[in-house]
């Protein structure tokens, strides 16, 4: 076998082990009893994988084809377990709902028989998710960008349409592989009380909970706009120590009083530059969604596509070249065709997770410049302290309303003398992303 074949088999082994680990955590989270035959099947699959791993290590594996066939069979067996637990998850959650309804109905009629009056409807029940014991690792973080690669086959949890989460352009589900820093964009149902705040918690492998905040020293909760929320999160330390470890993302809803308490805690941590984490979630907090993810070696992921419309035409970036070094103030250039009346905008996305429209002279309302079938716009990629950092550059088409919004926003920033940038959920409707590159600041 050549080194490429050996590396491919090792990747298959790592993927299978990750899927088994997520499966076990998913089962433990919902308190499912694992039947003996399932325990035996998991043990047998692990033994098969370990045998191939050992044969690779000592050079006794007969051939690449043999290893691939054995691991392929193991993957099929894991997928069968995935499907079994998927059915158990749906049935188990339905059973819990029915049990709760019966308990509430019983309490209602008992109260009515005692008092002769109707009782008030019950409030949402706060829930603290249970999780299996993890290997100890203390990884405080508020800093969050990052990419998500869904694990193959059926390791994803059942869809939760009322609380969807997207990261790096992909729906985030159980078993997703994520970079250290990641922007989460999610939705929430219309019936969520307007006074409730959302808080995103990251549960580390050590079992500690870390509330995430874009402005921790201000104790700020998760930003919401219309029916969407956005948060930049971090998974452990940026180095190699947390690669391959399992984290949990918890989307929670907090009443004003609980939210103030969380905000005070976050503010205190930030002011003292000490982030010890929480041993338990605050009482009364409502956990709306939990996702189990696996940390990868990637530091920052690409941002999600910003398209909110489908505008025709082709726009490409010809300079700089993706993956290359770029100066602090590069000229972004490209070509376009068949764009109609749509306007071309260049937006820069640094590691703070915000979007910065670029213009030739923003204060004079001169943005992307056009010459024939070519376009250009000067860009600013941070300051001296940002050398070595990745910058994502996106070119988008904007309809009349989106163009007017970005033009007015830049005029507002010019008058204020500062450009705070925009969250993804703050970008206007009417944008179509046409090209994306990532460069590294010189």
pLDDT digits (tens, 9 = 90+) for 121-159: 333 444 333 333 222 333 333 333 333 434 444 444 444
What does the pLDDT read at residue 297? 95
Q: Is the pLDDT of residue 267 over 80?
A: yes
Residue 72's pLDDT band (cuts 50, 70, 90):
confident
Q: Is the pLDDT of residue 109 over 60?
A: no
What does the pLDDT read at residue 98? 54
What does the pLDDT read at residue 105? 55
pLDDT per position as a tens digit, 209-224: 999 999 999 999 999 9
Distances (CA, A) of 167 to 155, 177, 183: 17, 11, 6
Q: Is the pLDDT of residue 75 over 90?
A: no
Helix or strand or coil: residue 439? strand
Rounded Cα gap, residues 20 and 335, in angstroms: 48
Bond preceding residue 420 cis, omega within 30 of 0: no
Residue 111's pLDDT band (cuts 50, 70, 90):
very low
What does the pLDDT read at residue 8? 78
Rounded Cα gap, residues 92 and 90, in angstroms: 5
**Which spans in 319-395 are helix H?**
none
> At 405, phi and psi to the nearest 5?
-65, -50
What does the pLDDT read at residue 28? 64
Q: Is the pLDDT of residue 298 over 60?
A: yes
**Cα 180 versus chain centre, distance:** 10
The pLDDT > 90 percentage for the chain reads: 67
Q: Which has the minimum average pLDDT: 74-78, 354-358, 362-366, 385-389?
A: 74-78
Residue 201's pLDDT band (cuts 50, 70, 90):
very high
Between the ranges 90-94, 167-171, 375-379, where is the mean pLDDT highest? 375-379
Q: Which helix (H) or strand (E) holds 55?
A: helix 36-58
| Mean pLDDT value across residues 285-305 | 95
Distances (CA, A) of 284 to 199, 222, 287, 402: 13, 18, 9, 41
What does the pLDDT read at residue 110? 46
Mean pLDDT of the chain: 84
CB atoms within 10 A of CB 370: 13
pLDDT per position as a tens digit, 12-60: 898 788 778 777 776 665 555 567 888 888 999 999 999 999 999 999 9
């Amino acid at each position: 076998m050549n080194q490429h074949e050996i590396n491919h088999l090792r990747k298959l082994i790592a993927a299978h082990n990750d899927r088994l680990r997520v499966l076990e955590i998913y089962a433990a989270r919902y308190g499912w009893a694992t039947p003996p035959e399932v325990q035996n099947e998991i043990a047998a699959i692990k033994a098969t994988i370990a045998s191939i791993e050992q044969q690779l290590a000592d050079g006794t594996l007969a051939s690449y084809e043999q290893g691939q066939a054995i691991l392929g069979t193991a993957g099929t067996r894991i997928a069968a377990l995935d499907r079994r637990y998927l059915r158990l998850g749906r049935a188990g959650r339905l059973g819990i709902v029915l049990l709760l309804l019966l308990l509430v109905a019983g309490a209602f009629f008992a109260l009515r028989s005692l008092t002769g009056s109707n009782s008030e409807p019950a409030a949402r029940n706060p829930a603290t998710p249970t999780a299996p014991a993890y290997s100890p690792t203390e990884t405080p973080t508020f800093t969050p960008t990052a990419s998500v690669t869904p694990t193959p086959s059926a390791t994803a949890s059942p869809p939760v349409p009322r609380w969807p989460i997207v990261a790096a352009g992909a729906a985030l589900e159980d078993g997703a592989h994520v970079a250290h820093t990641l922007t989460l964009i999610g939705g929430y149902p219309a019936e969520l009380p307007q006074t409730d705040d959302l808080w995103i918690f990251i549960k580390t492998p050590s079992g500690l909970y870390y509330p995430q905040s874009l402005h921790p020293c201000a104790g700020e909760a998760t930003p919401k706009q219309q029916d969407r929320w956005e948060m930049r999160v971090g998974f452990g330390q940026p180095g190699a120590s947390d690669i391959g470890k399992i984290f949990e993302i918890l989307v929670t809803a907090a009443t004003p009083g609980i939210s103030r308490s969380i905000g005070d805690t976050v503010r205190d941590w930030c002011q003292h530059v000490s982030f010890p984490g929480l041993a338990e979630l605050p009482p009364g907090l409502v956990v709306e969604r939990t996702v189990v993810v696996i940390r990868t070696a990637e530091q920052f992921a690409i941002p999600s596509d910003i398209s909110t419309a489908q505008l025709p035409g082709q726009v490409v970036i010809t300079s700089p070249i993706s993956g290359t070094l770029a100066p602090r103030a590069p000229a972004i250039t490209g070509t376009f065709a068949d764009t109609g009346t749509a306007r071309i905008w260049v937006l820069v996305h640094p590691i703070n997770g915000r979007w910065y429209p670029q213009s030739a002279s923003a204060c004079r309302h001169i943005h992307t410049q056009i010459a024939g079938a070519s376009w250009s716009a000067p860009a600013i990629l941070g300051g001296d302290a940002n050398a070595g950092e990745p910058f994502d550059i996106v070119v988008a088409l904007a309809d009349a309303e989106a163009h007017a919004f970005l033009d007015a926003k830049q005029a507002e920033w010019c008058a204020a003398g500062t450009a705070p940038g925009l969250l993804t959920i703050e970008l206007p409707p009417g944008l179509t992303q046409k090209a994306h590159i990532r460069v590294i600041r010189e």
